[in-house]
Each structure stands twice: as structure tokens, then as C-alpha cells.
Amino acid sequence: MAFERIPVSILTGFLGAGKSTLLNRLLKDPDMADAAIIINEFGDVSIDHLLVERSGEGIIELAEGCLCCTVRGELVDTLAELMDGIQTGRLKPVKRVVIETTGLADPAPVMQSIMGNPVIAQNFMLNGVITVVDAVNGASTLDHHEEAIKQVAVADRLVLTKRKLASADAVAALIARLGDLNPRAAVEDGDQETWSAAVLLDNGLYDFASKSADVSRWLGEEAAHDKDHHRGDHHHHDHDHHHHHHDVNRHNASIRSFSIMHDRPIDPMAIEMFVDLLRSAHGEKLLRMKAIVALSDNLDRPLVLHGVQSIFHPPQRLQAWPDPQDRRTRMVLITKDLSEDFVKDLFAAFTGTATIDRPDRQAMTDNPLAVPGLTF
């Protein structure tokens, strides 16, 4: 039986640009009902898949690590297993696949995995790259992170978020810079609430020739890497990119990902003071923070925190725990030149207890600064 190739869209963008927010808005479109969503995170504790607003069916969470390198083989295997399940009737057919990459991902290896692997290319087609860009931090991000430049350069569409938080001059300058990096990509208003999946995701077969010469070079380098290291075996699991194999949680010596897990309810004032001090005193070093928090004033409705440097979204309460069997606080931070021990000590000082993943630290006394009863 012949099967049409399934379109695959890559949703990328630097840390905190708004990929998950955009994905949640896309999922409200009925056209996404038969989509498979593949989510990858950078770190050892997963949160993103818990915050996607749909049932667990159709959501595939890749293992820890960065999608650009350490779990690349797993991405290939995941797509192969998805197709095998559809063809054998074990899984229902899907209309499209959307891959949300971690914000630190170099998109070129992900793209090459889809276009260059013979088995994957026979069953899937790269249907476009959508890159989310933060209007507030976008210029600085492009100045300091090569991954962000690549994410913009390979895009078919650029979604500019947080425009209302930036000045008109800053937005205009950023749009001009994006146009220099990728003159053919359409720039969309990322602050709109309603999205058409077909309009945003259906960009046709990816045409790298329409992008800059750099894009062709990056993809060529990845193809050469595949030939040298994988030797055509799509099940090869030696994910030893020479610049990453030693540590899945590091892209360079200054950027680190770590997690905090906590098994006791936290006073709302304590978490508020912890976050406020972290962002006000060390915001420039806080590349990303995501958390789902168990609060003592309402154990049934966890708090969700999203922050990028000094800018945090208003805290929101979920209607219920995504996993009723696991009500622990989970916090993932990606920092630059900010000590993991310092952040964990600060958290322990405000919550008055040691974290689960540091059993060697003696539990501290109750936080005298916590004010019970405050609604966060």
C-alpha cells in the first residue's frame, strides 16, 4: 500500500521567544486534531510536555538533551517508529508532525535528519521551518548566540512576539535585521491569539536554495557529518558531536541547564520573593526559567512560571495537575555564568528546606520571610 509523505514542520526559536505559547494557540485549530507533536527540552527534568494544552495522545517527548545533537538519533527512530505504527495499524494516521525544538538547538542537524536520512525522507517531507523571535531580547540574542542567527536564517516564516513590550524603533530595527539575515521569510505578528495551522505551517517542500548561501553550507556540513559518523545507519546511536558529546547540558562553558525538584508545598510569598530576587539581581544571566509549582494555599491548582532574563509572564494557575500522581514542584533553569549551587542555595533559603536532588544538604529552618495566605 502506498502512503503519501507526511509533512513535518519545525518550530524553533531561542529560549523564551514563545514557542510553547504559539504551539498552544495553534493546537486550538481543528486542523491540528490529527497532528503528532514532538517536544524536546534542554535539561534533565521535562516540563514543556506537561504544559501543552491537549490530551497526552499524539504528544511525543524526546529524552533529555538537545535536539540538535544528543537525541538526533532518537528523533530519527521516533519518526521511523511513528510511520511503522501507522502502516501496521497500531497507530492512527496523522495529518502532520510538528517538532518543537529546544531554544538552544542548531536547526541544521534537525533539518538534515528529515531531508537526508533515506528512510525518513521516503515517508516524511520537511514542510517548512517556523522561527519565533522575541522583540524585546531578539537583538541581544542575535548578538550573542550563533544558534539564534541560524534559526532566523533557515526560516520560512518568522513569528515576532512581545512587540507590545518593545519600542517601535526597536521593533523596526529588529525587523530590518531579520530581513538582512533572511529576506524571503514572511514576518508574522506573534501577539495574535488565533492562528491557522494551514497558513502558518504549510509552506511547501523546503527549498534551501531560496535561503542564504550559509544555509546551504550548514546543511552540507551536516550531510558530511552524517556520512562520516553514521555511515548510513539510521539506527546508529553514537551521538558524539565533537563539541557536545561530553555533556548534554552544555553548549559552551558558560551556559548551563539544571533543575530544582521539591516535594513539599511552597508558601506563595516564598516563591514570589525567590523569583523576584533572582530576576532583579541576576536577570541578565537567566536565559530561561520554567516551573510548575505546588503552592500551600491551593494544593489542587499548581502555579506555572515562565521567565526570560528580567521579563516574566504573569504567573498563572492551572486548573489541575497535568499528572495527578506527581505533584512535585519542578523548575528548569538555563543560565549563563550563574552558579547552580548559588541558585539552589537561594531557593533553599526562601523555601526553608533542602531540594530533593541535593540530599547531602541539611534541611534549613522555616523561612522567616514567608507570609502565609498571600494569593500569588
* Average pLDDT, 10 consecutive residues per value, the chain (376 residues): 80 89 88 85 46 50 46 75 87 89 82 87 94 94 90 95 94 96 94 91 85 76 62 43 38 73 91 88 82 90 83 82 87 85 90 52 32 28
**Amino acid identity of 264?**
R
Q: How high is the pLDDT of residue 365? A: 31
Judge contact between 195 and 29, C-beta under 8 A. yes
Strands 255-262 and 329-336, sheet pairing = antiparallel
- In CATH terms, the superfamily for domain 255-351 is CobW-like, C-terminal domain (3.30.1220.10)
pLDDT of residue 142: 94
Partner residues linked to 335 by β-bridges? 256, 286
Grid cell at residue 209? 536554495
> What is the predicted pLDDT for the residue at 1?
42
Looking at beta carbons, which pairs linking 296-303 to residues 24 or more positions away fall under 8 Å?
296/265, 296/266, 296/267, 296/268, 296/372, 297/267, 297/268, 297/372, 297/373, 297/374, 297/375, 297/376, 299/265, 299/327, 302/327, 303/268, 303/271, 303/376
Long-range contacts of 279-285 (CB under 8 A, 24+ apart): 279/307, 279/309, 279/310, 279/312, 280/310, 282/338, 283/309, 283/310, 283/311, 284/309, 284/310, 285/335, 285/336, 285/337, 285/338
Q: Rounded CA gap, 69 and 74, in Å?
A: 10
Q: CA of 257: how far to CAs of 79, 116, 167, 324, 331, in Å?
A: 27, 30, 31, 26, 11
The correct answer on CATH 1.10.287.70 for the domain covering 6-229 is no
* Predicted pLDDT at 323: 81
**Which grid cell is 56?**
497526552
Asked if residue 157 lies in contact with residue 130, where contact means CB atoms within 8 angstroms, the answer is yes
Q: Which amino acid is at 88?
A: T
Task: Spell out where the chain has E strands.
Answer: 6-13, 35-39, 59-61, 96-100, 124-134, 157-161, 186-189, 255-262, 286-295, 298-308, 311-312, 316-317, 329-336
Residues of the chain within CATH 3.40.50.300 domain(s) are 6-229
Predicted pLDDT at 58: 57
- Between vectors from CA 113 to CA 3 and to CA 104, what angle results, nearest 5°? 130
CA separation for the pair 192, 141 (Å, rounded): 23
CA dist list (Å): 174 to 180, 212, 271: 10, 18, 34
Torsion sign across C-alpha atoms 92, 98, 102, 108: positive
Q: What is the pLDDT of residue 353?
A: 61
Predicted TM-score (pTM) of the model is 0.69
Closest CA to 287 of 279, 299, 298: 279
Rounded to whole angstroms, how far apart are CA atoms 244 and 250? 7
Give phi and psi for 212, each to the nearest 5: -70, 165
Are 292 and 339 spatial neighbours (Cβ–Cβ below 8 Å)?
A: no
Widest pairwise Cα distance in the chain: 68
Helices (H) and strands (E) in the chain, counts: 11, 13
- Reading the block at residue 57, the C-alpha cell is 495522545
Within the chain, all domains assigned CATH 3.30.1220.10 are found at: 255-351
The pLDDT assigned to 154 comes to 93
Q: Quick check: helix, strand or coil at residue 318?
A: coil
